Each structure stands twice: as C-alpha cells, then as structure tokens.
Amino acid sequence: MSKKLTHVDVEAILACPKPVRESFSDKEWSVIQNRINALDAVLTGASESAAARKHHLDRKTVSRMIRYAIEPCEATGRLVGYDVCLPQRRFAERAPREAIVPGTAHAFAFEQVLLALPDVGNLVKAFKGALPSRQRRSPAFNRLYASMAAQLKANGHGDAYPLNTVDGGRRALQTYLRRVQGRREAAQAGDLPEAPSTTRIEHLFRLNPFDRVEVDEHRIDVDAWMAMPQANGTYRLEWVNQLWILVIVDVVTGSILAWLLVVGRKYHRLDVLSLFAKALRPWKPRDLLLPEMSYSPRAWMPSCDIDEGLVARSLMAALDNDGSHLAKMSLSNLVDFHLGVLHYGRSGMGEGRPYIEALFKLMENELLRYIAGGFTPQTAQAGRRATTTLQADRYPLIVEFMEDLIDTYVTSHNVTSRSTREPRSPKELTEAYLASGALLWRCPATEEHARRLTVQRMWVTIRGSKASGVPPTVYRDYARYRSPQLTGQWGLIGKSFAATYEDPDDVRQMTLWDAKGQRLLTLHAMAPYCQAPHTLATRIRAAAWNRSSMAQKDEEAMIQDNILAYHAGVRREAERMQPWATGLLQSGDVPMAMRPAPQPRDATAPLAGLRPPAGRFQLR
C-alpha cells in the first residue's frame, strides 16, 4: 500500500544521514546507490512507479522503502530514514499472524503471547535490566517474571504457554529478552559514528625512533633445575619453576635496548632499575663461556651508537602498574635520573604495549620454550604440553650460560630484517633516521644517571668487640666491610647508619651517611670478596659455591677470592658438561621429536647456528 508523504515527512527523511561509500564493497554499493537515488527521486516529487523504472527496482521495493523510512527504529528510537536503502536490513520485528495465547510451545509462540496481551508485552519490552547467568543472579529479571506470571494467571492463562512449560516460562522470557537486547545493541553500535582513538600515543603524534619505548616483563613457566657449581667440581641442583625476562624495546624501530634475566624468583625493584641503567650504558660483548657460541658478525645494540661518548635516551617509557614498577624507590629513581615521561598502564592489557608483547611471543617461539623442562601452561582450550624432550635433571640451567645465550640472541635480533618493518632491521631503521639529519636525545650526565639509578639503600649496624680485639666491622651480604677511619672508634659499635652501594656493578664499596644526608666514610669489602668487581647476585652465587665440605680439596681453593674461584669453577664445569643448547641447538637440531627439512639459512637470523628456521617438518 502506497503512503502519501507530507512536507514534514520529506524534511525528516532528508535530515537523516546517508550510508557511507567506504563501508561497503563495490558490488554492495551499486545496489545501495540505486536505492538512494530512487528514494531521492520520490522525495523530490517523482512517482513510485517512475522512480522504480528509472533505477531498475521493483515497485513494491520502493513502496516498502517509503513506508519504513518515516517509521521510528525500535532499537534506537530515531527515524529509519536512508537506512531503508540497505539490503537485507530488517526494521520491524517478525510478528505472528494470530494474536492468541497458544497452548503449547512452537515458533513465535512467545511473540503471540505478547501480541495477545498488550499489557504483558509492554511490561516485557520496557525491561532494561541485566539478565541472569550461571555466575550472577538478576533480581530485576526475577521481578519481571513474577509480574508476567501474575498477569497471565489473572487473565486465565495459568495453564497455557509459557507457564505450562517445565521451568514455568523463565527460559522463554530470558531467550526473548536476550534476542531483543542483542538486536538493540547491534543497531546502536552500527549507528554510532567512528570516533578517533586516543588510547595510544601514536594515534596523536607521529613517533620517531626513541620517542617511546615499552618496558615489560614476561614469565616463562618451566619445570627445570638450576645448576649451582660447587667447589668440589660437582653441582648442587635447585628446582626452579619460573624464569622472568625483562626487556626494553623501541616502538618505532623494534630494537631491544636492554634485557635482564631473573631465575627462580619474582623480579623486584632493583631488577627494574638495573634494566633501565643497562640501557643507558654502552653495550660490551660478554666473555662467552662456550667456545661453540659466538656473536653475530654484525652484533649490535642501540647503546653502541655513541655520540661524544653519550648513549641515546628515550623520551617516554611505557610500563604497567606492577608493584616493582610503582615501588617508592623505583618511582623516585626513575623520575630523578631516567628523566622523560613515565606512562603507566594497566596490567594484563596487552593492547597498551603491543610491540613488546609481540616480541615476547617471538622470543618464546624461537628460544625460551626449548629450555630443558620447558612447557606451555594449561589453558581453557588445551592442556599442558611439553615443548622439549630434554630431561630437566640431565640438562640443568647455568645462569651465566643462559645470559650468554640471550645476549647473542638479542644482539642478532637487532640486525635481523623483519617483514613488519618494510622489511628492514632495527639497526637499519635507526641508522637511516640518523642519516636524515635527525637528532636523538643525549644527556651529558647519562653515565652518572645510570649509576644513581641503581644505588641500593639500606641500614647497617657496626659490630665489633673491644674486649676481644675485633675492630669495628659491618657484616653485610656475606662480606665484611671495614675502613681505616674506623680504627679505634669503639664508640661506634652498635650504632646504625644509612648505607648505599653506590655502584651496583661493584659492591665491594659501601658508603655510610649521616642523618643530614652527608657522606661519612666509605667501607671496603675484605677477603674473600675484595679482588674482582662483582654484583650482589654474583656474590650470592659465589657464596653458595663456597659452601662445600670439599672446598679445601678443590684446585680453586688456592684462589683466595671467592668471586674468581666461582668464575673459574663455572667455566670449567661448562666445558665439561653438555648443557641443553650446546649439544642440540648448536648442532642445528631442535630438541623435539621432529627434524626440520633442509632449507637455506639466513646468516643474519637471530638463531643462525642455534636453531633451524621455521618450515616443513619431517619425521626422524
């Protein structure tokens, strides 16, 4: 039936937005454009028959478009307007032909009930509350059902559908409401204009290299053993169930600025600060333990790019709100000495730091999952699955060896081309940016800032005994600290002072401070921790190495410094045993039950010589 349009109707339709060309394919848009032209022709005075003939449409289609164009949309409440030009779009609910309360369930039975009883229909359609689920009750839904059941019984339909079903019609009511709410939400979402996103900084500004870096940590679940070398030439195995790797990655170039490995424990604030300090210091190749392992010929880190002795720094660092990142010491040191902007996001929201999350996935697939005892944890979709056939107790972890392996991987990653970046390597992107005449932020006090970032603060008490002749000494972290300035100052015994390790890479010196923040004196570590520079983590491992009943029988017993003896023992044992990556990854075999088919290798790939590239697999 044709509908006569008034002047008000025409103005209302013309005020409605038209479909956008970019939202449809060419084939879809040709149909939509014909309908828009036909509707415009009718609005400007043409008859429905003339508009249908001119634009190759059925007259009933044009008539139906005119009828629905001035109707309000049930989901949004506004006029349908030009949305009638969209094919397969429904603007009214399917209604049953008969308005009766059925006796049994069938198609559109619940709709028949609402049509036969308008009061019940208005009550149900006005519901805007939450629907119940297995985890949550809905008092609003319970009140609606009680009201609907009362009205049905009051009208004499207590024995009819839906009250005569097993659950009394609760499921029928819930299914109908879920269907209505789904249509309403879909229509409202489709009508909302697309607003520009401001959830990420690159949506607001064009980022250049080192403008923004992402800092995050990644836990690797393992069922492994860590080998603690003993002074008698054997190992003491300690079970570990987690590895943490902390990384700083540049958003634009994808280069890894710094990394840190934590074995067997949760990382803490000192690890976070050490990671930032590592990015501010020039990179130096490690003295690799294994002769088979070597760096890529083009090994590179961003800190290798030094201008007037200064390392480039980032303008913004994106972190999550982990407690180690928000600790008082972390915040104060980062604000005072890292400088730049600290952008804290929510934990578990990978969308805020997508680049580093993608990097962690890459490192897992290429390296970390193949540690002896490695596995993928159980998820809702799949159970726990072993990723290596190596037995953890036969191939224990050596921390120094793992650090060597990760360092060779990272420095090779930074010179490997990536298909997602044009393809060019992070090094090439950085060099091209500098060659264009651009400048990176470099601060003259970078080395001092790197040192002060990781200054460890503590309280110590001076011990000693005048009667026994024990001079004033500070006992801290397995070592004894003394100073010539404490000689004869027996009155200081028992007093506590604020103390710091000013250089975390060399904890042989401890500085004492007074209550006003003035430096008092510097204490020096005594033997057996006084000859070689070392970190606190190295000292802890060296102290464990020295705790052995066979220590005096070992050839390293002649070395008077525990740090030197520990390094000598680790190097000797690494050469004698066959670690998991030495015998298998170095030879090109993945420690799985499959062997990759021979394929040409890229000499610049991060695992060239460690692991074959991904490809087809064949059975052994």
Least reliable range by pLDDT among 154-168, 444-458, 533-547: 533-547
Cβ proximity of 329 and 457 under 8 Å: yes
pLDDT range class, residue 583, cuts 50, 70, 90: very low
- Reading the block at residue 280, the tokens are 């501010």
Least reliable range by pLDDT among 175-189, 380-394, 423-437: 380-394
Cβ proximity of 397 and 590 under 8 Å: no
Half-sphere exposure (Cβ direction) of 582: Cα atoms closer than 13 Å = 19
How many Cβ atoms sit within 10 Å of the Cβ of residue 343?
A: 16
Rounded CA-CA distance 259/412 in Å is: 14
| Span 473-501, average pLDDT | 89
- In the chain, what percentage of residues exceed pLDDT 70? 81
| Alpha-carbon separation of residue 487 from 151, 466, 492, 493, 593 (angstroms) | 96, 11, 10, 11, 66
Cβ proximity of 542 and 556 under 8 Å: no
Least reliable range by pLDDT among 183-187, 453-457, 498-502, 534-538: 183-187
**Residue 536 — φ and ψ, nearest 5°?**
-65, -40
According to the model, what pLDDT value does residue 575 have?
A: 59
pLDDT range class, residue 574, cuts 50, 70, 90: low
According to the model, what pLDDT value does residue 604 have?
A: 39
Sort strands 456-461 and 385-386 into parallel, antiparallel or unpaired. Answer: unpaired
Model-wide pTM > 0.75:
no
Cβ proximity of 272 and 338 under 8 Å: no
Half-sphere exposure (Cβ direction) of 509: Cα atoms closer than 13 Å = 10
Considering only residues 390 and 580, tell me which one the structure prediction assigns the higher pLDDT: 390
Considering only residues 175 and 188, tell me which one the structure prediction assigns the higher pLDDT: 175
Least reliable range by pLDDT among 29-33, 174-178, 219-223, 470-474: 219-223
- What is the tens place of the pLDDT at every residue in 226-256? 766 555 555 566 777 888 899 999 998 999 9
According to the model, what pLDDT value does residue 612 have?
A: 34
According to the model, what pLDDT value does residue 75 have?
A: 56
| Alpha-carbon separation of residue 230 from 11, 530, 532, 566 (angstroms) | 90, 20, 19, 8
Sort strands 456-461 and 316-320 into parallel, antiparallel or unpaired. Answer: unpaired
Rounded CA-CA distance 500/484 in Å is: 19
According to the model, what pLDDT value does residue 329 have?
A: 80
Location of structure tokens 């392992």 = 293
Cβ proximity of 453 and 337 under 8 Å: yes
DSSP code at position 73: P
How many Cβ atoms sit within 10 Å of the Cβ of residue 84?
A: 24
- What is the tens place of the pLDDT at every residue in 81-122? 888 888 877 666 566 667 788 888 888 888 888 888 888 888
Least reliable range by pLDDT among 228-232, 348-352, 386-390, 593-597: 593-597
According to the model, what pLDDT value does residue 505 have?
A: 77
According to the model, what pLDDT value does residue 481 have?
A: 93
- What is the tens place of the pLDDT at every residue in 408-441? 999 998 988 876 666 788 999 998 898 898 888 8
According to the model, what pLDDT value does residue 543 have?
A: 81
Rounded CA-CA distance 288/574 in Å is: 11
Considering only residues 587 and 523, tell me which one the structure prediction assigns the higher pLDDT: 523
- Reading the block at residue 368, the tokens are 């970390």
| Span 24-34, average pLDDT | 86
Alpha helix ranges (H) inside 334-445? 354-366, 399-413, 426-435
- In the chain, what percentage of residues exceed pLDDT 90? 10
- What is the tens place of the pLDDT at every residue in 283-317? 999 888 777 788 888 889 998 888 877 898 998 99
Q: Is the pLDDT of residue 264 over 90?
A: no
pLDDT range class, residue 345, cuts 50, 70, 90: confident
Instruction: Name which of 267, 264, 265, 268 is nearest 237 in CA terms.
Output: 264
Q: How much is the mean pLDDT over the chain?
A: 79
According to the model, what pLDDT value does residue 572 have?
A: 67
Location of structure tokens 């000598």 = 568
Rounded CA-CA distance 520/495 in Å is: 13
Rounded CA-CA distance 244/271 in Å is: 10
Preceding peptide of 196 cis, ω within 30°: no
SS3 state at 16: coil
Angle between helices 109-116 and 118-125 (to 10 degrees): 110
How many Cβ atoms sit within 10 Å of the Cβ of residue 402?
A: 20
Q: Is the pLDDT of residue 318 over 60?
A: yes
Instruction: Name which of 512, 515, 503 is nearest 461 in CA terms.
Output: 512
- What is the tens place of the pLDDT at every residue in 329-338? 888 888 888 8
According to the model, what pLDDT value does residue 258 have?
A: 93
- Reading the block at residue 326, the tokens are 């928000």
| Span 582-608, average pLDDT | 35
| Alpha-carbon separation of residue 137 from 14, 146, 565 (angstroms) | 46, 15, 66
Cβ proximity of 591 and 375 under 8 Å: no
